[in-house]
Structure 1
Amino acid sequence: MKRVIMIGPSPSAKGGIATVIGTLLRVGYERDGHCRFIQTHISAGLVRKAWVALWALLRVTCLMATGQVALLHAHVASEASFWRKAIFIRVAQFFGCPVIFHLHSGEFRVFLEQRMSPGQRKFAVALMRRVDYALVLSDDAAQLLSGIGVRNIELLPNPIEINRVSPARQTSSEILFLGRLDNKKGVYDLLRAFKYVRDQVPEARLILGGEGEVAQVRELATALGILNAVELPGWVNEAQRSVLLARAAVFVLPSHFEQMPMTVLEAMVAGVPVVATRVGGVPCMLENGACGKLVDVADLDALASAITGLLVDRPAAQAMAERAHQRVLKEYEAGVVLSRLQERYAALAQ
């Protein structure tokens, strides 16, 4: 029997793609035996990462060579993720196997246009033009791929589970950020805006969950005089995220680049009001402000004002969170997304 082979990082790895894959697997992606997931990346040392990637390539190549693959579904980001998946895609194209190119990276335009050499860009564009179908998370990504000649592009939202038991919501003045601690995620913008939030809401606290530039974050928080109100728990797993979301009064993601961040979906499911920047698919997720507050990248005044407004006007914040939760139920529930994906497989698989 021919199967659809989906490739990407291990569900236990860090990052949004791993979360998406883990969600699909939990809601029955492999249940009927027609679909199979093979991990191409894990969070480990360089040697172990290389071994996992090589073993995955050998398995996929063998399956294709013996006619057991109906379709390759490749989850792709920027940098190493792209080049790693490019090898698998080329193998699939060699064997005449249809390919779904599933783009997740919010920085892919920058990666393609600024970080590649002319030769690399020529190869990448030629590779993408030959894929049979592309799945994207935002209109910007669709326009980018269409502009380089990719055919058959569809917006498919990230899936999230709704029916999982979550801790009861608590009342607090905690502001929560989840993501890598660096400038691209807007964490320094958030620290500077938080200083102004504290002037209006002295009891407010900022929780920055994630790894990255921890020393630099501490240094800036100290310089701003807010370190005593900032908590840095490090990388948080799924269970810890649920606890932090239950405690949070506001979830903030002031990223400079995104596609469809899973952390925003998690906050929407948990009933936490969201403040986020107008990047990637975020405006669509928040229904252009009806389901969360939107601000421009690096607009510290707007960021501080949006956070403060939600902390001060709790009824309005709760109403916004309820609208967001209903939107997730309708558009992003994992079963709905999986059904759409399976329909696409049926149309493409040989």
Structure 2
Amino acid sequence: MNRKTVLIVAPYFPPHSGGLERYALEIGKALHMLGWRVVVVTSGDAGRTTEAFEGLTVYRLPYAFKISNTPFSLAWLWEIRRILREERPDVVNVHTPVPGIGDITAFLTRAPLVVTYHSGSMRKGKWRIDVIVALYESCILPLLLRKAAHVISASDAVRSGFLKEYAHKSSTLSPAVNCDTFYPAPELVSEPRLIFITAQLSRAYVHKGFPHLLKALQELHVRGVRASLDVVGDGDMRATYEADVRDIGLNDFVRFHGALENGELAAVYRDASLFILPTSNDSYPIAVLEAMASGLPVISTRVGDIPRMMEDGKMGYVIEPHDEKALVEKIEILLNDYALRAAMGKYAREKTCAHSTWQDRASRMETILERSLARRIIQISGYYPPHIGGIERIVSTAAHMLVERGRQVEVITSGGPSIGNPDIPSVKKLTTIEFAHTPFTPTLLFHLFTLPRSSIMHVHLAQAYWPDMVRLASWLRGIPYIAHYHLEVGPSGFWGPLFTIYKKLTWGPFLRGAAHVIACSEAQKEWICARYGVDPTRIAVIPNAVDEAFFGTGRTPPEGIVRLLAIGRLTSQKRMDRLIDACAHAHTPLHLTIAGDGEDRAALEARAREKGVPVTFAGRCDDAQMQALHRTHDVFLIASEREGGTPLTVLEAFAAGLPVIAGDVSGVKELVQGIGVLVEPTPAGFGRAIDELFRDPDRYRRHSRLGIEKAHGHSWRAYVDELEGLYDRL
């Protein structure tokens, strides 16, 4: 069995020190132990090198220059392209937020992309740098995160804050610690020895709070507490800090170790009595975990996930950022109480080592990587709930069920900004300009163009413009698409004739260019072949399905007034006017309810008044309201000029036990024939059918029973099974 290859991309990698670097290394090592082949691409100070590093293949690419803490080289475009071609990774894992090497790799790769994001915004409070950061975070970073099949956050705070827009496809996988490497000394050091650790002593890491700690140390000495301080880390500010130490006369009490890793770092922890990190901007600092695993109490700040990492008062103390007075007081309390320090350190290690292991993190990471290898399903629909309609409900239900089965699903639709939820499909509602009953979304092509090439676009054919953008994106990116043909949409409104011309020119090439076409019935399949010249072997027939919530029991005819129900958009195609006229022809006492809304509502209300027909216009209804309408009515009417092969409204009426009276037209008769009542599609035909149905109670009960039986053959489980089979064949 061939091992899968994961390409880990990080701006820096050990022996370069830092939390991101250790995270990438430990995840890589643990994945290697789980059977993955792990390749790392990172920056390097020397020339291009390839080496074996703790079981991993590591490419170190030289950089041309640095901006702040960001290495960069244009030569990486060619170097990374060559590495991707040679290594052929199954999945790419980019560690960021440091720009550059990860963005280039994400742009070049065709493999599924998983992004591990380690902190919040990179803004430093210095306008020259922050202008560049703002441009990156608003223009380039979103492209990286949108392309990702999954986004991993190092902390819940970052996931719910900086990354909240991607909550639908993200999870938290916080750093862990190797408790076999980081362990306590036999006895906690009794001397007042503090330790401060940072990835770098540089301008980019001033937020870690070393200047505040130095002031606190100075105040402790004024109070007579002769504490010493070990500083781990290196960078362009080290010489400045060493000079500051000499200036305040603490040269004999502060020791700068430079960058340390593994055993040397663990030994420094064991020689300390207290760990301090007065940071003002952090996510999930790995140094806090290492200190607690080493049996040290910790004093840190209320930023990022630090309050979740350590129990205040039990593992140490959590203070506010920049609060130097509180910092001094908490250090003094712990240095003066050996027993308290020892108890806190013991409890910190027990809790940390029980819940923060790299083996656990790697197992969860493997699940994410395996899931990302599945092709992402992009459901593309002009409208989506809460917009009312049969297609909208089909798209929504199918998307939710696919997610429940572990598929990666994203919905792209019209309507404006939306917020994702981790438990439902990602729904991108794009800013829309409505014209001639068509939602035009200017950014649709851009969003399609940023999809991973491994995606499958499933477009629901109902409006103009949308299929054209899908076809263009497919041609430019090589992403296959499935065309779902729900019904033969007819012209309506002033611009209707233009739509007819548009369909003749564009729908044929669009359908013929699809990897598969979905029809709702065999009759519809034959229509598509004849009308648009589509190869019948590429058309799959998948009838619509009905939600179990609609199912009821067999009905008996009502006594008194008969309650009729019709559902649909109030447009000329649905012919609600025909039903109002039919009620005027019928002799049975009745009341008609029309659920739906649209451009013809005012005209229909006027028609009902003119004919003297009792009609309730229920307007737009959600699923619960629709189900209630089915329970409280006696018969369902559908008078459309045309419908899809298995109209959802008819299936739902069948399930509820409502006898169905339908016009004998294409797209309806295939479903209703032998189950409901087919009539000449005229007001007189519908009127006669209503009267005849309620004169024969046995016939009414038979149609109710047959409808329920028919609906049971249209389950969502079977529908989604068919969809998955189609996706898997691509």
TM-score (normalised: structure 1): 0.86
TM-superposed CA distance for 1:58, in Å, is 3.2
Deviation by residue 1:217-247 (Cα, 9 ceiling, x = unmatched): 2333234333332222222233222221111
Q: Offset at 1:184?
A: 1.9
Q: Is the 8 A contact 2:276 2:298 kept in 1?
A: yes
Matched with 2:138 is 121
Tell whether the 8 Å contact from 1:13 to 1:42 is kept in structure 2 after alignment. no
- Pick the structure with more helix per residue: 1
For the pair 1:131 / 2:148, whether they are aligned, the reply is yes
The structure 1 residue matched to 2:159, chosen from 142, 148, 151, is: 142
Matches within 5 A, 1:169-248: 169=187, 170-179=189-198, 180-182=200-202, 183-212=206-235, 213-248=237-272
- 1:10: which partner in 2? 13
Aligned counterparts of 1:45 and 1:196: Cα–Cα separation in 2: 47
Give the stretch that moved more between structures: 247-256 or 97-106.
97-106
2:357 is aligned with 1:333: yes
- Helix, strand or coil at the partner of 2:157: helix
SS of structure 2 residue aligned to 1:227: coil
C-alpha deviation, 1:262, in angstroms: 1.7
8 A contact 2:285–2:306 mirrored in 1? yes
Instruction: Report percent identity of matched pairs.
Output: 21
Change (3 A) 1:142 1:110: farther
Distance in 1 (alpha carbons) for counterparts of 2:37 and 2:327: 43
CA distance in 1: counterparts of 2:93 and 2:338, whole angstroms: 43
Which residue of the partner structure matches residue 33 of structure 2?
A: 31
The 5 Å alignment of 1:142-161 reads: 142-149=159-166, 151-161=168-178
User: Which among 99, 102, 112 is matched to residue 113 of structure 2?
Assistant: 99
Aligned CA-pair RMSD: 2.9
Match of 1:22 among 15, 25, 50: 25
Aligned 8 A contact 2:284 2:304 in 1: yes
2:491 aligns to what? Answer: none
C-alpha deviation, 1:215, in angstroms: 2.8
CA distance in 2, matches of 1:198, 1:227: 13
Cα distance in 1 between the residues matched to 2:262 and 2:115:
27
What is the letter of the counterpart of residue 22 of structure 1? L
Q: How big is the shift at 1:188?
A: 0.5
CA-CA distance at 1:291 after TM superposition: 2.2
Answer yes or no: is the 8 Å Cα contact 2:153–2:172 preserved in 1.
yes
* Higher-Rg member (1/2): 2
Which whole-Å CA distance do the structure 2 matches of 1:165 and 1:188 have between them? 27
Residue 323 (1) aligns with residue 342 (2) = no
Give the letter for the 1:139 counterpart: D
Q: How many residue pairs end up in the alignment?
A: 340
Structural mapping, 1:33-48, within 5 Å: 33-44=35-46
Instruction: Kindly state the Cα deviation for residue 100 of structure 1 after the two structures are TM-superposed.
Output: 1.0
Alignment map for 1:163-174 (pairs within 5 Å) = 163-164=180-181, 166=183, 168-169=186-187, 170-174=189-193
Report the Cα offset of residue 195 of structure 1.
Answer: 1.4
Task: Indicate if the aligned counterparts of 1:132 and 1:151 stay in contact, CA closer than 8 A.
Answer: no
Distance 1:118 1:6 in 2: 25
**Distance apart, 1:145 and its partner CA:** 4.4
Structure 2 residue runs without a partner (length 5+): 49-59, 64-72, 375-730
Change (3 A) 1:252 1:165: closer
Partner of 1:57: 80
2:22 and 2:101 map into 1 onto residues whose CA distance is: 19
Structure 1 unmatched runs, 5+: none
Task: Report which stretch shifted further, 170-179 or 110-119.
Answer: 110-119
Identify if the C-alpha distance between structure 1 residues 199 and 236 changes in structure 2 by more than 3 Å, giving closer, same or farther: same
Q: Indicate the larger mover: 299-308 or 120-129.
A: 120-129
Is the partner of 2:31 in helix, strand or coil? Answer: coil
Q: Which amino acid aligns with 2:116?
A: H
> What is the distance in 2 between the residues matched to 1:137 and 1:63?
30
Counterparts of 1:69 and 1:237, CA distance in 2: 29
Matching residue of 1:74: 94
- Flag the 1:332–1:53 CA change in 2: closer, same or farther, 3 A: farther
CA contact (8 A) 2:181 2:266 kept: no
TM-score by length of 2: 0.43
Q: How far 1:106 sits from its partner (Å)? A: 4.8
- Secondary structure of the residue aligned to 2:114 is strand
Name the SS for the 1:108 alignment partner.
coil
Which of 139-148 and 255-264 deviates more? 139-148
The C-alpha deviation readout for 1:278-324, integer Å capped at 9, x for no partner, is: 22221211135532211111110011111111111121222221221
In structure 2, do the counterparts of structure 1 residues 44 and 186 end up closer, same or farther at CA, with 3 Å as the change threshold? farther
1:120/1:248 Cα in 2 relative to 1: closer, same or farther (>3 Å)? closer
Q: Does the C-alpha gap of structure 1 residues 223 and 106 become closer, same or farther in structure 2, counting only changes over 3 Å? A: farther
